[in-house]
Amino acid sequence: MKRICSPEEAVRNIHDGASVMIGGFMCCGQPLRLVDALLAKGSKDLTVICNDAGYPDRGVGKLIVAGRVKTLIASHIGLNTVAGTKMGSGELAVELVPQGTLAERIRCGGAGLGGVLTPTGLGTEVEKGKRTVKMQDATFLLEAPLRADFALIKANITDYYGNSFVAKSAKNFNAVMATAARHTIVETDELVDAGSLDPERVVIPGVFINDIVAGGSHG
């Protein structure tokens, strides 16, 4: 059985300097209450791994605006102008990662693998400082796995064992991030008894979940 807790309790151990994966794609499928609780807790110097920098006034974007994020690893920051400004001034370090490479590096980290060989980014700025590997007559870029101290993810329905259903395009990075952190917290819209969630609908097996925060919010 998993720990059921409030957003505040769930983020209590997220310390200064922690690395945190945050699910969502332009705030769709983002655990907004957990992000708000982390903002309220005040942890700083965070390394945040997230698809994008969101918007300045919602979700992960608020952490960036408040100056809590030291390093952002993301595929896109274009809709959060504050992120761009902070990157320009040197206040925020940004590692831009192609979206497919980001997903696969996280999957790789969660799967206990040692790296990703991808053709994406060859011959571009993304290749700089990385090794290339020849395999079966093709050249690939070697990308490192990504893991984090914490993952904050969002689900629509979760049972007491942590098994979670994530609807439609809200699955996005939630599914892989759940696997790649030492401690994964799911914010769910609806917490149900074991047996109430059809096992066929489970998107994220409960084995990846540590804490459950019930009563989510749509952003």
Partner 1 sequence: MAEDPKRARIAKRIAREFPDGALVNLGIGLPTLVADYLPKDKTVLLHSENGFIGLGPQAEKGQEDPDLVNAGGRPVTLVPGGCYFDSAASFVIIRGGHVDVTVLGALEVDEEGNLANYMIPGKMVPGMGGAMDLVVGAKKVIIAMEHVSKSGQPKILSKCTLPLTARREVDLIVTDMAVIRVTRSGLVLEEIAEDTTVEEVVSKTAAHLHLSPKITEF
Q: Which amino acid is at 99?
A: Q
**Is 146 an interacting residue with respect to partner 1 (CB under 8 A)?**
no
**Two tokens at 150?**
């914490």
* Site for partner 1, residues 91 to 130, rule: CB under 8 A: 94, 96, 98-101, 103-104, 106-107, 118-126
Q: Which residue has the tokens 């310390």?
A: 15
**Two tokens at 29?**
């499928």
**Is 169 an interacting residue with respect to partner 1 (CB under 8 A)?**
yes
**Two tokens at 167?**
């609807």
Measured from the CB of residue 20, what is the shortest distance to partner 1 in angstroms? 17
Measured from the CB of residue 3, what is the shortest distance to partner 1 in angstroms? 25
Region of 1-9, 10-18, 38-46, 69-77 interacting with partner 1 (CB under 8 A) = 69-77
**Is 174 an interacting residue with respect to partner 1 (CB under 8 A)?**
yes
Q: How many residues bind partner 1 (CB under 8 A)?
A: 50
**Is 33 an interacting residue with respect to partner 1 (CB under 8 A)?**
no
- Integer Cα distance of 207 and 34 in angstroms: 20
Q: Which is nearer to partner 1, 119 or 195 (CB)?
A: 119
209 half-sphere exposure, CB direction, 13 A CA radius = 31
Q: Which residue has the tokens 């990385």?
A: 130
**Cross-strand pairs, 88:** none
**Is 214 an interacting residue with respect to partner 1 (CB under 8 A)?**
no
- Integer Cα distance of 146 and 56 in angstroms: 25
- Integer Cα distance of 202 and 36 in angstroms: 27
Binding site for partner 1 (CB under 8 A): 25-29, 51-52, 74-79, 84, 87-88, 94, 96, 98-101, 103-104, 106-107, 118-126, 156, 166-176, 203, 218-219
